[in-house]
Amino acid sequence: MGQLLFQAGGFFESLGQIIWGAPMALLLVGTGFYLSCRLGWVQLRHFGAAMRGTIGRVFSPAERAPGAVTPFQAMSTALAGTMGTGNIAGVALAVSLGGPGALFWLWATALLGMGTKFAEVLLAVRYRERNSRGEWAGGPMYYIKNGLGRRAMPLARIFALAGALAALGMGNAVQVGEMSAAVRTALELLAPDSGVTGGQASAAVGLFAAGCAALVLLGGIKRLGSVTELLVPAMSLVYILACLAVIGANLEKLPSVLGLIMRGAFEPRSIASGLSLRLCMGWGLRRGVFSNEAGLGSAPIAHASTSETEPVRQGFYGIFEVFADTIVVCTLTGVTLLISGVGIDYGHAASTSLCAEALGTVLGPAGGALVIAVGMCLFALSTLLSWGLYGARCCEFLFGGRSVRPYLALFSAVAFLGAVMDLSLAWSLADAFNGLMALPNLFALLALAPAAARETRAFFRREKNC
């Protein structure tokens, strides 16, 4: 059995490397650039409007239509899915294996990703439909089906199948596994004589994650929206303040760290011997997409549940989502690692323990471990819940409404297994299935770009005439 898992891990790792090679990087960047041009660089020209239309509406009363959630709840659910372990463990991995310059390529994916996510969300709302329970259901499989026609149904099914499987891997096992690792690290530092073994801690985390998944997801989209609109702001604030404390304590180093990032983006060998530009770009792009999911097609599934009837207005939430996830949270993680002075062994994979050590330079070892453990648990739990919705929607598209409960039962079981399994296999599965989701979605985005552009131009003409 162990040999079989080892071979499977090797296969999916190779598949992930093939999928996420230079062609995928060019496709992601090219699609983001093309969409940005067709949409008039909406993420830059109308960034202020996007911020006013998102965070500016947080405290305004919102109407909730039957079978839908508020626009903020839809965005919170999507943001819960993107703000996962990739914001901590993924960034540490990118910086250690790709060098400081990987952060620059992370920013590049975010700049273009804001345009891609805007188009994804717009199309998800434009082409959504009601399911058998009267809820709005949408996402790439629906805008492929309703926007490109029946001939493109095989692409819709490929996306839905990859999405249902990716939810079990990236959205579930990876998240719970990282949560388990963070809890074990915290126990070793905070309570070394507790008598709780690593296996016991992992099993407890697995049971907790499985129970939360079952309790929240079986309550439907409205219960999920109510949880994420509280969870996302709280978890983000705690982690952001901790990172700012470290950066503030080392503020005089910030210019040199920014210079290190820029030099490392184009001359990684000058920063760390043995790192090539291909590795630097590859890890930056891969972890950038893993973090903000622009082009992946997952977040539009949550956005399609909104009560908002104007696709462009909900698209603004897509812009804010990428900005908050990558430009803010991922940047804070990377800069905290670099500015703290912790020793990064470039070319070797780093884990959350390095992030805890970085925070510990100001908060103390116990404080750093505690913040990372709490942050990882909250980030992972939020992602777990959102990806449960994504997987269920994909399964429903393929097999009908009756398949949702059995799928969620399987999802909860995998949550327990994710806490005790080898994470290397889960990460390999995540990268492979992420790529298999992205390919049909990117094709659909390119094909439907004219429709998205028409919708965007019509919206701003109406706004100008009001």
Q: Write down all domains in the chain, each with its CATH number in brackets.
A: 8-465 (1.20.1740.10)
Confidence of residue 59 (pLDDT cuts 50, 70, 90): low
Under DSSP, the state recorded for 328 is I
Task: Give the range among 11-25, 333-347, 452-466 with minimum mean pLDDT.
Answer: 11-25
pLDDT of amino acid 58? 60
pLDDT of amino acid 455? 95
Q: How far apart are CA 202 and CA 188, in angstroms?
A: 13
Cα distances (angstroms) measured from residue 218 to each of 289, 377, 396: 29, 21, 14
Confidence of residue 2 (pLDDT cuts 50, 70, 90): very low
215 vs 465 pLDDT, higher one: 215
Cα distances (angstroms) measured from residue 1 to each of 7, 8, 254, 414, 418: 10, 10, 49, 18, 17
pTM of the model: 0.86
Question: What's the average model confidence in pLDDT over 146-165?
Answer: 93
Q: How far apart are CA 454 and CA 87, in angstroms?
A: 34
pLDDT of amino acid 308? 86
pLDDT of amino acid 447? 95
First to last CA, the chain: 66
pLDDT in tens, 363-410: 998 888 888 888 878 878 888 888 988 999 999 999 998 999 999 999
- pLDDT for 5 beyond 50: no
pLDDT in tens, 127-147: 999 988 888 899 999 999 999
Task: Share the mean pLDDT of the chain.
Answer: 82
- pLDDT for 72 beyond 50: yes
By the 8 A CB rule, do 299 and 321 touch? yes
By the 8 A CB rule, do 361 and 385 touch? no
Question: What's the average model confidence in pLDDT over 259-280?
Answer: 71
Q: How far apart are CA 335 and CA 405, in angstroms?
A: 42
For residue 433, how many other CB atoms are within 10 A of its CB?
25
pLDDT above 70 covers a percentage of the chain that reads: 85
pLDDT of amino acid 291? 67
pLDDT of amino acid 33? 92
Q: What b/e readout covers 30-51, taking b as 16+ CB neighbours within 10 angstroms? A: ebbebbbebbebbbeebbebbe
Question: What's the average model confidence in pLDDT over 157-173?
Answer: 89
Q: What b/e readout covers 307-343, taking b as 16+ CB neighbours within 10 angstroms? A: bbebbbbbbbbbbbbbbbbbbbbbbbbbbbbbbbebe
Q: What are phi and psi of 69, to 5 degrees?
A: -115, 165
Q: How far apart are CA 320 and CA 399, in angstroms?
A: 33
Q: Which of 179, 43, 192, 47 lies closest to 114 in space, CA to CA?
A: 43
Q: How far apart are CA 25 and CA 301, in angstroms?
A: 23
